[in-house]
Structure 1
Amino acid sequence: MAEPVPHVKSALRTVELLDFFAQYPGLHSLTDLQGKLGYPKSSLHALLRTLVDLGWIETDVTGTLYRIGMRALLVGATYIDGDPVVQLAHDALDWLAEVTGETVHLARLDHFDIVYLATRASRHYLRPFSRVGRRLPASTTSLGKAILASRDDDEVRAILPAELPSLTAHTIVDAEELLVDLHRVRKQGYAVDREENTEGLRCFGVALHISDPPRDAISCSVPIPRLTPEREKEIASCLLEARERIERSAMRQRRAY
């Protein structure tokens, strides 16, 4: 077995710093960053100045508060533009948004989080809306639960953090309760987020079986006032059809190569 490659400290700190800004948007002082990350203040200041000069981090007008910079957006957009699953799912997401009239998402599992890769806004939603790039705990979303349900209980337990995060009063925060919910997902064929990350919104999700194990999923979000048992069945049916379209496209692409 090959020995792990040792990390380069400066590179590791750079990535950890950018991850921090991605997780905690907004402006942060040097003192705040030093307290959160634990780096020596002089080293942290030099790293921040380097990243500011390169455009990865920006400062406020005083030069004393820091936030993520434009360069991160450009690299993130390149990731989305070049991602093969985003391209595969494009037409199916358009179709799903059209036939349901609701907001639909494509997202990917990253450790225990879901990262949104594409969004189509509901025709009922009048303001600009996008979750692209947003990160949420997998256990709080139908997207995440659909992907987790494709793994067995032991694999899920290995992924779970010590404490499940709580975003609303409806969020599942007990690991065993989550496993029961995942069994329900496997039985009915799709996952349901019952106002677990946004009050007043129920979301339905299915995993895409285009990798082994699946790491991508699509979902449809519906405000509670517009939801009936019949509507839930309709949404689930449309999600399964959209998934089939994406998986067929993936199969055709593999055959082409």
Structure 2
Amino acid sequence: MSETGGERPESAGVREVKSAARTVELLEVLAARGDRPARLQELAAELGVPRSSMYALLQTLISRGWVRTDSTGSLYGIGIHALLTGTSYLDSDPHVRAVRPYLDEASQALGETIHLGRLDGRDVAYLATRESHEYLRTISRVGRRLPAHAGALGKALLAESPDERLPEEPYEALTPNSHTARASLLADLAEIRARGYAVDREEGVLGIVGFGFALRYDTPAQDAISCSVPVARLTPEHEQQIIAVMREIRGKIEATARGAGGAPNWR
């Protein structure tokens, strides 16, 4: 997993290969822009490299399918090979494979949107999702990232580690209900540990309440599942049903996925 904030450390004393690092940084920048393509000058300025070097790198990645460009050759975006690699990550991960059937089970039982997420530094990355059966529903997608402090998945995972490992401020405010101070987040994490699950009441998205449950087949937990519900459809009775079903699903997942059948212990 990525380190929490700061620069990436050298691994076991091995010096970083600058050309490889620059390639990865470029792909990460393009991926983070989503549907906003970038121009050559923007990329060169953001990564602090000469235009000529950036142009050569872009052309190399275009030829290999990692970057795409428009008909004028002036706009750049992430390429299809990034999708193929991301899909391979999901297909090869033993925990994702083990969890998927239980996401289906939770979806069938509750009719709401169900997620599987993984902690990655200060964020949570969505690895799998099952959309709600209802017309009024939350919208999500695999590959989406949200700050860990601002959602049920992330808070459930932050609560699994000691407070001193909590990311440093500032915390981004995604809604007026997001935690922006360390003290308020710490108080919430203490409640999560006592309760056994996290609740996100419109902290990440207005109009959406989430319930997050850490999956403890790793120590500390790196994965969590959640159920997201529009506020307009959340009654006290439905909330209790969600908590009961998700607790049961968590137990089934942990019993099945622990050890992941002798698969590699990925870092």
Q: What TM-score range do you get, normalising by the shorter chain?
A: over 0.9
Counterpart position of 2:40: 30
Shift of 1:162: 3.4
Deviates more, 1:160-169 or 1:134-143: 160-169
Aligned to 2:119: 109
- Asked if the contact 2:169/2:182 (under 8 Å) is kept, the reply is no
Give 1:243's aligned residue: 250
- The alpha carbon displacement at 1:230 in A equals 2.4
Kept in 1, the 8 Å contact 2:200–2:210? The answer is yes
The residue number in structure 2 matching 1:68 is 78
Q: Once the two structures are aligned, what percentage of the paired residues are identical?
A: 48
Q: Is the 8 A contact 2:113 2:137 kept in 1?
A: no
Cα distance in structure 2, aligned partners of 1:238 and 1:189: 14
Give the distance between the partners of 1:213 and 1:176, measured in 2 at CA: 22
Deviation of 1:41 after TM superposition, in Å, equals: 1.4
CA drift of 1:251 comes to 3.9
- Rounded to whole Å, the distance in 2 between the matches of 1:255 and 1:62 is 50
Which deviates further from its counterpart, 128-137 or 43-52? 128-137
Residue 250 of structure 1, CA deviation? 1.9
Q: 1:255 to 1:60 in 2, by over 3 A?
A: closer
Counterpart of 1:4 in structure 2 is: 13
Would the aligned equivalents of 1:112 and 1:161 in 2 still touch at CA under 8 Å? no
Query: Which deviates the most, 169-178 or 209-218?
Result: 169-178
* Structure 2 residue 81 is the aligned partner of structure 1 residue 81: no
User: Is the Cα–Cα contact under 8 Å of residues 95 and 260 in structure 2 kept in the other structure?
Assistant: no
TM-score, reference length from structure 1? 0.93
Q: Equivalents in 1 of 2:181, 2:248: separation in Å?
A: 32
DSSP-derived class of the 2:209 partner: strand
- Asked whether the 8 Å contact 1:93–1:104 carries over to 2, the reply is yes
Q: Which residue of 2 aligns with 1:213?
A: 220
1:14 aligns with: 23
In structure 1, give the amino acid aligned to 2:70: D
In structure 1, stretches of 5+ residues that fail to align are none
Which consecutive unaligned segments of at least 5 residues does structure 2 have? 1-10
CA distance 1:254–1:79, shift in 2 (3 Å): closer
Give the structure-2-normalised TM-score.
0.90
Counterpart residue type for residue 234 of structure 1: Q
User: Is this contact kept in 2: 1:56–1:71, CA < 8 A?
Assistant: yes
Q: What displacement does 1:81 show? A: 1.2
SS in 1 for 2:244: helix
Pair 256,147 (structure 1): closer, same or farther in 2 beyond 3 Å: closer
Give the counterpart of 2:184 among 167, 177, 186. Answer: 177
* AA partner of residue 83 (structure 1): D
CA positional deviation for 1:161: 3.9
* CA-to-aligned-CA distance 1:101-151 (integer Å, 9 cap, x gap): 100000000011100000000000489954101111001110000000011
Distance 2:29 2:263 in 1: 41
Greater share of residues in helix: 1
Q: Does 1:190 align with 2:197?
A: yes
Q: Which moved more, 1:143-152 or 1:247-256?
A: 247-256
- 1:193-252, CA deviations, whole angstroms, 9 ceiling, x for partnerless residues? 111111100000000001111000000001001112222221111111111010111248
Instruction: Give 1:114's aligned amino acid.
Output: V
Moved over 6 A (4+): none
CA contact (8 A) 2:138 2:228 kept: no
